[in-house]
C-alpha cells in the first residue's frame, strides 16, 4: 500500500501542547513511554518514533492486519484507541471517499495529531472522537467495523466500554481485536507487564457482553499478538 510509506512524513517536525496523561490508549500511560511526553513541551515525534517503528509488530505487520480486517469501499469504521492514527489513516485509504473513519481516543493530543495527519494526506473522511473512560461516545448503530489494537488491556472498566462498542456497531457489524497474548504459567517480559490475561480470557469477556466469535486467523507478521474477529448478532 503506497500510503504506508508516507505516514511518518505526514507529521514530521511537529510538536503538541503540554499533556498530563499522555497515553495513546485509555487508561494509564504505557509502560516505558518517553518521560518527555509528560514533562514540559510534549514532543509528538517521540510517540511516532516509539509506536511507528519496524520493531513493533503492529507497525511492521500493518498491511497484513488491514487485509485481514477486510474492509470494503464505503465502510464506516471506528478505530478505538487510535493513538497516533497509524491504522486510522490506512483504513481511510481502504474505505475510500464514500466511507468514514471515526478515530476515537481519550487523549486530545492524539486526536489533534490524527486530524493534522489526515489533512496532510488529503483525507476528508476522518472524524476525531473524544472518548471517555467508560464510553467510546459514538452514536448507536453507526459502525460497520470497530477495530481495537493494543488497547483492550488498558480499559479500566472493560465491560462498560465494550457495551458502548456493542451499541455503536450495526447489526452483523464486526469487532476486530488485536492484543498481546500471554501464556499461563510463563513469566511475562517487562513490556507485557500491563497485560492481565491471555486470548481465552479476553474472548470470554467479549462474548459475555453479547458478541459472537467468528474467527481467530493467523495473520502474517503477528507472533506476540493475536487477531480475533467477533460480530454483533443481527437479532438480539
pLDDT digits (tens, 9 = 90+) for 109-131: 889 999 999 999 999 999 999 99
Q: What's the pLDDT tens digit per position in 44-99?
A: 556 555 655 444 788 999 999 999 999 999 999 999 999 999 999 999 999 999 99
Assess if residue 64 is contained within a domain.
yes
pLDDT class for 151, splitting at 50, 70, 90?
confident
Assess if residue 81 is contained within a domain.
yes
Assess if residue 2 is contained within a domain.
no
The whole-number pLDDT of residue 70 equals 97
Q: Which residues contact 99 (CB under 8 A, 6 or more apart)?
A: 71, 73, 74, 75, 76, 77, 92, 125
The Cα–Cα gap between 73 and 92 comes to 10
Task: Please report, rounded to a whole number, the percentage of residues in the chain having pLDDT higher than 90.
Answer: 58
Q: How many domains does the chain have?
A: 1
The whole-number pLDDT of residue 188 equals 58
The Cα–Cα gap between 86 and 132 comes to 21
pLDDT class for 183, splitting at 50, 70, 90?
low
The Cα–Cα gap between 53 and 57 comes to 9
From the number of C-beta atoms within 10 Å of its C-beta (0-12, 13-18, 19+), residue 24 rates as buried
The whole-number pLDDT of residue 168 equals 98
The whole-number pLDDT of residue 46 equals 60
The CA-based dihedral angle spanning residues 78, 80, 83, 86, taken in that order and rounded to the nearest 10 degrees? -40
Overall average pLDDT of the 98-110 stretch: 94
Assess if residue 207 is contained within a domain.
yes
The whole-number pLDDT of residue 196 equals 64
pLDDT class for 224, splitting at 50, 70, 90?
confident
Assess if residue 6 is contained within a domain.
no
pLDDT class for 164, splitting at 50, 70, 90?
very high
Assess if residue 7 is contained within a domain.
no
Altogether, the residues listed in the chain come to a count of: 236
The whole-number pLDDT of residue 194 equals 61
Q: What's the pLDDT tens digit per position in 10-52?
A: 333 223 333 333 333 333 333 434 344 443 335 655 655 565 5
Assess if residue 8 is contained within a domain.
no
Overall average pLDDT of the 138-157 stretch: 92
Average pLDDT, the chain: 79
Residue 91 sits in which domain range?
A: 18-231
CATH number at residue 178: 3.40.50.150
The whole-number pLDDT of residue 31 equals 40
Overall average pLDDT of the 199-222 stretch: 94
Assess if residue 158 is contained within a domain.
yes
Amino acid at each position: 500500500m503506497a500510503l504506508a510509506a508516507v505516514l511518518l512524513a505526514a507529521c514530521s517536525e511537529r510538536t503538541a501542547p503540554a499533556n498530563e496523561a499522555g497515553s495513546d490508549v485509555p487508561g494509564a500511560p504505557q509502560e516505558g513511554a518517553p518521560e518527555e511526553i509528560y514533562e514540559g513541551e510534549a514532543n509528538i515525534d517521540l510517540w511516532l518514533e516509539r509506536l511507528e517503528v519496524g520493531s513493533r509488530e503492529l507497525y511492521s505487520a500493518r498491511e497484513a492486519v488491514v487485509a485481514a480486517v477486510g474492509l470494503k469501499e464505503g465502510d464506516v469504521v471506528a478505530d478505538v484507541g487510535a493513538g497516533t492514527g497509524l491504522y486510522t489513516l490506512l483504513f481511510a485509504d481502504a474505505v475510500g471517499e464514500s466511507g468514514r473513519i471515526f478515530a476515537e481516543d481519550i487523549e486530545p493530543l492524539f486526536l489533534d495529531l490524527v486530524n493534522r495527519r489526515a489533512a496532510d494526506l488529503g483525507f476528508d473522511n476522518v472524524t476525531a472522537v473524544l472518548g471517555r473512560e467508560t464510553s467510546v461516545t459514538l452514536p448507536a448503530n453507526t459502525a460497520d467495523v470497530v477495530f481495537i489494537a493494543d488497547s483492550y488491556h488498558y480499559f479500566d472498566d472493560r465491560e462498560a466500554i465494550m457495551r458502548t462498542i456493542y451499541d455503536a456497531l450495526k447489526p452483523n457489524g464486526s469487532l476486530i481485536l488485536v492484543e498481546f497474548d500471554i501464556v499461563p504459567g510463563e513469566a511475562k517480559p517487562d513490556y507485557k507487564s500491563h497485560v492481565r490475561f491471555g486470548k481465552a480470557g479476553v474472548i470470554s469477556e467479549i462474548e459475555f457482553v453479547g458478541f459472537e466469535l467468528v474467527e481467530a486467523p493467523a495473520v502474517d507478521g503477528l507472533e506476540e499478538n493475536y487477531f480475533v474477529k467477533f460480530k454483533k448478532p443481527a437479532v438480539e
